[in-house]
C-alpha cells in the first residue's frame, strides 16, 4: 500500500472430526484451544488439538489471575546463588533468583511464571520488587560483595527502568558499584536505539552490565561490539560438556580469552564437579557459579558463606 511492504502471518489451530469432537460446537472449541497453544508457542505455527489442552489452559488462566494477587500479597521471595573467584575460590557475589511461594502449588521456580508475568503485564511491578529487595538485602551483608539482578527483555520496553534502578539504590543505600544487571541476548535482538540508550543510562548510574547465557544466540559477537559489557556469563550447556567434549573446552577457552582481550570478566555457569571447576580455571575463566559452590538459598541462610569467606581472608 503506497509503497509500503506489509507482512501477514497466521497461526492455525486444528480439530478433526470425529476424534476431536462430534459436534460443531465442540470442534470449534477444541480448535480454539489448539489455536491458543499455537499462539503461546510463538505464533506463525500450526497446532492440533490434544486431550488435556483444556485442563492446561484452565490452569494457565488461573495462574494468570493469581500472579497479580501474588505480587500484591508479597508471595515472592528471593534466593541467592554464590559466585566465586575461579583462582582463589573467594566469594565475590551472589545472583538474586526469584521464587513464587504459591499458596496452592508451593515454591515455584522462575521458569514456571516469568514468561507468564511478561505476557500478562505484571513483570514491571515484579521486577521493581526484585530490584528493591535484592538491593535492600545486599546492603545488610557483612561483606561488600556484588549482587546480580536479572532484567527481563520486557522491562526494557518501559521508559523508567534507569529511574527504577536508581530509586532502589537510593532507598537501600547500596553502592552502585556493587550492583550488576544481567541481560540476555534477546534484549538486544531488536538492536533498537532505545535499548542501547537504556543500557548506557544504567551504566551511567555506576552499575555494571553482564551478558547472561553467552553463546546460545546467533549474534553474540556483534552484541559485544554494540555495547561494552563488564561481564560475560558462559552458558552452562558448554560447561557441562567440558569433561567429554574438546569442542566445548575450546569454546570456553575462546570466550575467556575474548573477555580478557576486551577487558571483561568471564563467569562459567553451572559448575557442578571438581573436574569442571579445574577445567574452567585452566581455560581462563575469572569467576565460577554452580552447585559445586552452592545452590540458591534464602538470605537467612547466607551467614555460613560469609563466615567461611571471612575466615579465608583473615
Long-range contacts: 4-11, Cβ < 8 Å, 24+?
Answer: 9/43, 9/44, 10/44, 11/35, 11/38, 11/39, 11/43, 11/44, 11/45, 11/46
pLDDT along the chain (314 residues), means of 10: 62 74 70 69 72 68 87 94 95 97 94 90 94 98 96 89 97 98 84 85 96 75 82 94 95 94 95 97 97 94 85 59
How far is C-alpha 72 from the geometric centre of its chain's CA atoms? 22
Tell the CATH superfamily of the 81-220+231-313 domain: EAL domain (3.20.20.450)
Q: Specify the pLDDT at position 1.
A: 47
Q: Specify the pLDDT at position 81.
A: 97
Q: Specify the pLDDT at position 310.
A: 72
Q: Specify the pLDDT at position 61.
A: 78
Name the β-bridge partners of 268: 234, 288
Residue span(s) of the chain under CATH 3.20.20.450 come to 81-220+231-313
- Distance between CA atoms of residues 72 and 74, nearest Å: 6
Q: Specify the pLDDT at position 179.
A: 98
Determine whether 8 is exposed, middle or buried from the number of CB atoms within 10 Å of its CB (0-12, 13-18, 19+): exposed
Amino acid at each position: 500500500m503506497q509503497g509500503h511492504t506489509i507482512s501477514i502471518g497466521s497461526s492455525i489451530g486444528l480439530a478433526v472430526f470425529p476424534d476431536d469432537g462430534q459436534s460443531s460446537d465442540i470442534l470449534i472449541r477444541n480448535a480454539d484451544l489448539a489455536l491458543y497453544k499455537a499462539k503461546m508457542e510463538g505464533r506463525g505455527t500450526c497446532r492440533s488439538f490434544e486431550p488435556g489442552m483444556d485442563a492446561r489452559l484452565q490452569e494457565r488462566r488461573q495462574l494468570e489471575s493469581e500472579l497479580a494477587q501474588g505480587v500484591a500479597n508479597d508471595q515472592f521471595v528471593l534466593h541467592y546463588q554464590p559466585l566465586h573467584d575461579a583462582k582463589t575460590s573467594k566469594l565475590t557475589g551472589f545472583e538474586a533468583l526469584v521464587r513464587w511461594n504459591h499458596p496452592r502449588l508451593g515454591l515455584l521456580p522462575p521458569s514456571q511464571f516469568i514468561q507468564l508475568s511478561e505476557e500478562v503485564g505484571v513483570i514491571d511491578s515484579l521486577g521493581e520488587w526484585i530490584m528493591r529487595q535484592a538491593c535492600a538485602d545486599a546492603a545488610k551483608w557483612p561483606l561488600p560483595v556484588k549482587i546480580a539482578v536479572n532484567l527481563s527483555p520486557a522491562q526494557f520496553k518501559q521508559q523508567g527502568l534507569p529511574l527504577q534502578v536508581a530509586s532502589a539504590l537510593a532507598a537501600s543505600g547500596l553502592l552502585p558499584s556493587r550492583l550488576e544487571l544481567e541481560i540476555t541476548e534477546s534484549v538486544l535482538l531488536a538492536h533498537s536505539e532505545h535499548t542501547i540508550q537504556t543500557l548506557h543510562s544504567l551504566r551511567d548510574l555506576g552499575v555494571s552490565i553482564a551478558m547472561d547465557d553467552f553463546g546460545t544466540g546467533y549474534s553474540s559477537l556483534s552484541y559485544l561490539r554494540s555495547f561494552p559489557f563488564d561481564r560475560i556469563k558462559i552458558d552452562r550447556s558448554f560447561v557441562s560438556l567440558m569433561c567429554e567434549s574438546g569442542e566445548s573446552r575450546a569454546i570456553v577457552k575462546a570466550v575467556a580469552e575474548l573477555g580478557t582481550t576486551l577487558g571483561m570478566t568471564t563467569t562459567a555457569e553451572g559448575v557442578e564437579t571438581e573436574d569442571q571447576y579445574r577445567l574452567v580455571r585452566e581455560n581462563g575463566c575469572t569467576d565460577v557459579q554452580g552447585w559445586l559452590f552452592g545452590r540458591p538459598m534464602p538470605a537467612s541462610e547466607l551467614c555460613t558463606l560469609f563466615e567461611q569467606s571471612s575466615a579465608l581472608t583473615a
